């Protein structure tokens, strides 16, 4: 077993290099699910879902698709008939007429600030009316920060507080009331955290000054669906997460530590920064600021998997599916490694070791079958012996501590697929290498849909499954990682 470790590391490094070097041709070929940075966005934060939608400009006003806005929050359907558009959200009926400002929602009239628009059966409502009409559908208050295009449904705001330790080097702790996952970047004199998916709210004042020569101030701003926190200093800064991602510690780069290529992340390597004898806080382990998902397209190379048709091998379906899943996870803020991004042969032990070496937050293996319909989600079925005595058993039951979380991930996937009316079943199976990975692990087997075998190669069909998996993984993000 030890002999495979070096090969695995080399393979993994090669994959990482390949991923960072290759321009992503796949992304440009996808439908316009990607939101480009300069497009206008609305971010929605609610207890059931956090998502971002494109904002459209029509006749000098900002509009949003109402169906897309409500869909993640509940059961919704809509139909159009001529200029009329009817929508039902949970038990609330609404009727809109193209070109009119007056609509009927839940049996009562509502006057929008601009006319309702109907484009290819898609109903658009003016953004400026969101806080007025949404409570009629949701039955709960909303807080819409219109200039920032951020919508808070219910009590979901995450608050920030600051704590400065003026030791040498000084450390600024940013404490949040819930785990956060910002994108962190550095530039001379600044460390910038962009919160795309966290319902972070203003710390009260837009700018906070610190009585410190090194870390001088912090500024909060929000714009186009994002919140941003910038810390200014007279020395280069680094950031690390602690306290289950509820705290970000920003500190000056300890002298002698070379600036690292990965912005904002503590460099691996010398882990203990030089500390003055009076300084008590222990150094925190380096944590990459995004949860890493390892996606494993099962089979590959010599090993073709099942013959789905005369010409179609499982290994090819799993690869395409895995690439779509990578894209979906990436959109939701995960870092993703594909265990193969080509037609490569790779053993089961090698795959498990690669996930373990990368210390991924989650491992997802993808399979495909010609029989059945929809999808099946597997978690590991551990050997009866349970916890181990020897190396062999340990390897076979590596999954054991994470299995409860794996089952939660599996249930979340089933739930998301059912929302999309995807037939789905969950089972346990001794399906290697699920047993051998330390982190939460599931396998998803894709079966044909209503269009039969053609679905297995349909990007549209795979995309629905991939987005369900990615939503599910996001919904349990805070529980991922190696369980102790
Ligand atoms: Zn398979």
DSSP character string of 231-271: EEESS-EEEEEETTTTEEEEEEPPTTPPP-SSTTSPPSS--
Tokens linked to 108: 């009562």
Contacts of 272 (CB under 8 A, 6+ apart): 283
Give the mean pLDDT of 447-474.
93
What spacing in Å lies between the alpha carbon of 446 and ligand 1's midpoint? Answer: 10
Across 33-37, 133-137, 150-154, 206-210, least confident range: 33-37
What spacing in Å lies between the alpha carbon of 329 and ligand 1's midpoint? Answer: 22
What spacing in Å lies between the alpha carbon of 47 and ligand 1's midpoint? Answer: 36
Q: Look at 58 and 7; give whichever has higher pLDDT.
A: 58
What spacing in Å lies between the alpha carbon of 360 and ligand 1's midpoint? Answer: 22
What spacing in Å lies between the alpha carbon of 314 and ligand 1's midpoint? Answer: 7
- Give the per-residue pLDDT at 240: 84
- Give the per-residue pLDDT at 14: 34
Q: Return mean pLDDT, the chain.
A: 82
Match 């200093």 to its residue by tokens.
233
What spacing in Å lies between the alpha carbon of 49 and ligand 1's midpoint? Answer: 32
- Give the per-residue pLDDT at 154: 84
Q: Could you read off the pLDDT of 436-445 as tens digits, one per residue?
A: 999 999 999 9
Q: Do 112 and 106 meet the contact criterion of CB atoms below 8 Å apart? A: no
Tokens linked to 321: 């599916």
Name the phi and psi angles at 91, rounded to 5: -105, 15
Give the mean pLDDT of 444-450.
94
Across 65-74, 128-137, 273-282, least confident range: 273-282
pLDDT at 31 over 50: no
For 298-349, the DSSP string reads --BTTB---BSSSS-BHHHHHHHHHHHHHHHHHHTT-EEEES-SSS----HH
Name the phi and psi angles at 12, rounded to 5: -65, -45
Give the mean pLDDT of 462-481.
94
- Give the per-residue pLDDT at 27: 31
What is the helix (H) or strand (E) element at residue 67, kind and residue range? helix 66-70
Q: Look at 213 and 8; give whichever has higher pLDDT.
A: 213
Given its phi and psi angles, is residue 243 left (phi above 0), alpha (psi -120 to 50 degrees) or beta? left
Which residues, in sequence order, are bridge partners of residue 242? 247
What spacing in Å lies between the alpha carbon of 447 and ligand 1's midpoint? Answer: 11
What spacing in Å lies between the alpha carbon of 303 and ligand 1's midpoint? Answer: 10
CA gap 437, 396 in Å, rounded? 9
What spacing in Å lies between the alpha carbon of 33 and ligand 1's midpoint? Answer: 28
What spacing in Å lies between the alpha carbon of 290 and ligand 1's midpoint? Answer: 29
- Give the per-residue pLDDT at 196: 86
CA gap 289, 186 in Å, rounded? 13
CA gap 109, 408 in Å, rounded? 43
What spacing in Å lies between the alpha carbon of 306 and ligand 1's midpoint? Answer: 6
Q: Which residues of 177-225 form beta strands (DSSP E)?
A: 183-187, 190-195, 207-209, 215-223
What spacing in Å lies between the alpha carbon of 347 and ligand 1's midpoint? Answer: 13
Give the residue from 267, 299, 262 showing the smallest Cα distance to 283.
Answer: 267
Share of the chain above pLDDT 90, in %: 49
- Give the per-residue pLDDT at 209: 85
Instruction: Give burial (CB, 10 Å; 0-12/13-18/19+) of 148.
Output: middle
Q: Cβ of 321: how many Cβ atoms within 10 Å?
A: 27
What spacing in Å lies between the alpha carbon of 436 and ligand 1's midpoint? Answer: 17
Give the mean pLDDT of 229-239.
88
- Confidence band of 289 (pLDDT split at 50, 70, 90): low
What spacing in Å lies between the alpha carbon of 173 and ligand 1's midpoint? Answer: 47
CA gap 318, 300 in Å, rounded? 9
What spacing in Å lies between the alpha carbon of 477 and ligand 1's midpoint? Answer: 26
pTM of the complete model: 0.49
* C-alpha dihedral sign at 28, 31, 35, 36: positive
What spacing in Å lies between the alpha carbon of 453 and ligand 1's midpoint? Answer: 16
What spacing in Å lies between the alpha carbon of 295 and ligand 1's midpoint? Answer: 14
- Give the per-residue pLDDT at 297: 96
What spacing in Å lies between the alpha carbon of 383 and ligand 1's midpoint? Answer: 21
Across 6-15, 32-41, 145-154, 398-407, least confident range: 6-15
Instruction: Give burial (CB, 10 Å; 0-12/13-18/19+) of 130.
Output: buried
Q: Do 11 and 346 meet the contact criterion of CB atoms below 8 Å apart? A: yes
Contacts of 374 (CB under 8 A, 6+ apart): 417, 422, 423, 424, 425, 447, 449
What spacing in Å lies between the alpha carbon of 55 and ligand 1's midpoint? Answer: 41
What spacing in Å lies between the alpha carbon of 161 and ligand 1's midpoint? Answer: 49
- Give the per-residue pLDDT at 254: 61
What spacing in Å lies between the alpha carbon of 470 and ligand 1's midpoint? Answer: 20
- Give the per-residue pLDDT at 164: 85
- Give the per-residue pLDDT at 322: 96
Across 16-25, 303-312, 357-366, least confident range: 16-25
Q: Could you read off the pLDDT of 117-126 as tens digits, one per residue?
A: 999 888 999 9
Give the mean pLDDT of 41-49.
89
What spacing in Å lies between the alpha carbon of 146 and ligand 1's midpoint? Answer: 48
CA gap 144, 391 in Å, rounded? 56
Give the residue from 468, 483, 481 showing the smallest Cα distance to 179.
Answer: 481
Across 72-76, 298-302, 337-341, 403-407, least confident range: 72-76
pLDDT at 405 over 50: yes
CA gap 390, 350 in Å, rounded? 20
What spacing in Å lies between the alpha carbon of 298 and ligand 1's midpoint? Answer: 6
What spacing in Å lies between the alpha carbon of 305 and ligand 1's midpoint? Answer: 5
């Amino acid at each position: 077993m030890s002999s495979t470790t070096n090969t695995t590391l080399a393979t993994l490094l090669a994959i990482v290099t390949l991923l960072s070097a290759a321009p992503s041709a796949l992304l440009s070929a996808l439908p316009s699910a990607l939101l480009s940075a300069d497009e206008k966005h609305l971010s929605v934060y609610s207890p059931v879902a956090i998502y971002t939608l494109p904002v459209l400009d029509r006749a000098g006003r900002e509009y949003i698709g109402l169906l897309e806005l409500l869909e993640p929050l509940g059961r919704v359907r809509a139909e159009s008939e001529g200029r009329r558009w009817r929508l039902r959200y949970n038990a609330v009926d609404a009727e809109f007429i193209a070109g009119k400002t007056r609509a009927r929602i839940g049996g009562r009239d509502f006057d929008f600030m601009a006319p309702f628009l109907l484009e290819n059966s898609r109903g658009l409502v003016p953004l400026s009316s969101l806080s007025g009409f949404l409570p009629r559908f949701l039955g709960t208050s909303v807080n819409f920060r219109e200039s920032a295009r951020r919508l808070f449904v219910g009590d979901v705001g995450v608050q920030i507080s600051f704590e400065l330790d003026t030791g040498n080097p000084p450390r600024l702790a940013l404490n949040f009331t819930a785990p956060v996952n910002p994108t962190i970047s550095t530039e001379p004199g600044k460390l910038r955290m962009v919160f795309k998916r966290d319902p972070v709210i203003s710390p009260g004042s837009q700018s906070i000054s610190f009585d410190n020569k090194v870390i001088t101030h912090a500024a909060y701003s929000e714009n186009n669906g994002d919140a941003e926190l910038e810390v200014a200093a007279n020395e280069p800064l680094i950031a690390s997460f602690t306290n289950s991602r509820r705290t970000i510690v920003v500190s000056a780069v300890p002298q002698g530590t070379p600036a690292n290529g990965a912005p904002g992340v503590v460099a691996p390597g010398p882990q203990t920064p030089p500390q003055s004898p009076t300084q008590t806080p222990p150094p925190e382990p380096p944590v990459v600021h995004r949860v890493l998902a390892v996606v494993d397209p099962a089979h590959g190379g010599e090993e073709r998997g099942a013959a789905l048709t005369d010409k179609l091998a499982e290994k090819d379906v799993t690869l395409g599916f895995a690439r779509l899943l990578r894209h979906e996870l990436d959109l939701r803020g995960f870092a993703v490694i594909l265990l193969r991004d080509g037609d490569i042969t790779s053993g089961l032990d090698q795959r498990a070791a690669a996930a373990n070496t990368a210390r991924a937050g989650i491992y997802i293996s993808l399979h495909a079958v010609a029989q059945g319909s929809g999808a099946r989600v597997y978690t590991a079925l551990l050997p009866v012996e349970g916890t181990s005595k020897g190396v062999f058993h340990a390897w076979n039951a590596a999954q054991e501590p994470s299995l409860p979380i794996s089952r939660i991930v599996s249930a979340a996937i089933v739930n998301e697929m059912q929302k999309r009316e995807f037939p789905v079943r969950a089972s346990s199976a001794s399906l290697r290498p699920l047993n051998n990975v330390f982190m939460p692990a599931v396998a998803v087997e894709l079966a044909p849909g209503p269009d039969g075998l053609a679905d297995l190669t349909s990007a549209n069909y795979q995309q629905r499954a991939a987005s369900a998996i990615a939503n599910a993984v996001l919904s349990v993000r805070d529980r991922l990682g190696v369980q102790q």
